[in-house]
Amino acid sequence: MHPDPARDAGTGHLAAWQREVGLRLAAVKAGRRQDGPFEASLTGVPLGYVRLLSLEADPVRLSRTPGLVESAPARAVAVVLQENGHAALTQDGRSTVLEPGQAAVVDLRRPFSLDERERFRLRVLRVPDHALDVPAHSVRRVTGRALSPRDGVPALLVPLLARLAVTAGRIPPSVADALGGNTTDLLATLVHDASDPDDDDHAGAARDRLVRSVLRHIDRHLGDPDLGPESIAAAHRISVRYLHRLFEDEAVTVSRLVQRRRVEECAKELARRGSVSATVSAVSSRWGFHSPAHFSRAFKALYGHPPGRWRGAAPATTGTVRP
């Protein structure tokens, strides 16, 4: 994995650097704080669905105005780590000064300003909001505050971010995916720690609604042979990883749930039509199975005997399913 340096972000190219920040992070307005040439750089490394950015530049003020929020939405939250220089961060009615080694959460979905008062280096972890899965009102509780790396979740997240900034370009893609998920989990934990107790109830209700939506989607698309975790996650604008997390308490994986529902619908059709129904192969194909052999194994695992014995002999229900 290799970093992707910003294009035309060298001396005197404030506009080009601002454009790259907009492409990689969120649309911002960049205002210089001193006369003369402007030197800046920007690199980025993907960590799965997360992106790690390194920004270095002369003093500059970055602002995301309400107009930019409306015209160029950014569905993401970021953690910024101030490595060099001092900066003033303002968001959600709060302001703080970031000193070297301190971090802060910035909600890219809402206005903010980051005033870098001297030559600086900034590391930014950009996380899509659907992967973070934290209510916006909970994120609002931690914005505009400096995070000290001395205790709590920041003591884990901030050093990890600093280390990733140095090593990310040499990390294999499979490991990078896992690290992206780990840093996302740490960020979500940090936000939850700062939330009100009632927030857990709101988050639980939202998860329940999403699970019900996924179940309805599965039932509507059982006949699609391509139905699986990837297509389900894409339809709900969430990551496959988060989809699996949703079903951790359901005692069944998403793939096995899809297979079980397909088998149940096949069993209903075979039982209902008996000897006059279409062939077992045709029934299984209609409900999304790629091969009769796969269907037979799945059917026997669920009902205890092959579908040929079930057909015409079963009652007009799916019968007793093995636990």
In terms of DSSP H, where are the helices of the chain?
Answer: 14-24, 66-71, 129-132, 136-139, 154-167, 173-193, 198-220, 229-235, 240-246, 254-273, 280-286, 292-303, 307-310
pLDDT, tens digit (0-9, with 9 covering 90-100), for 130-153: 888 888 888 988 999 998 777 788
Confidence (pLDDT) at 249: 61
CA 295 to chain CA centroid, Å, is 33
Residue segments in the chain with a per-residue pLDDT below the cut of 50: 1-12, 196-200, 314-323
102 within 8 A of 70, measured Cβ to Cβ? no
Whole-structure pTM value: 0.59
Q: Look at residue 292 in the predicted model and tell me its pLDDT.
A: 85
Q: Is 222 in contact with 268 (CB distance < 8 Å)? A: no
Residues 6+ apart with CB under 8 A from 283: 266, 269, 270, 277, 307
Burial of 158 (0-12, 13-18, 19+ CB in 10 A): buried
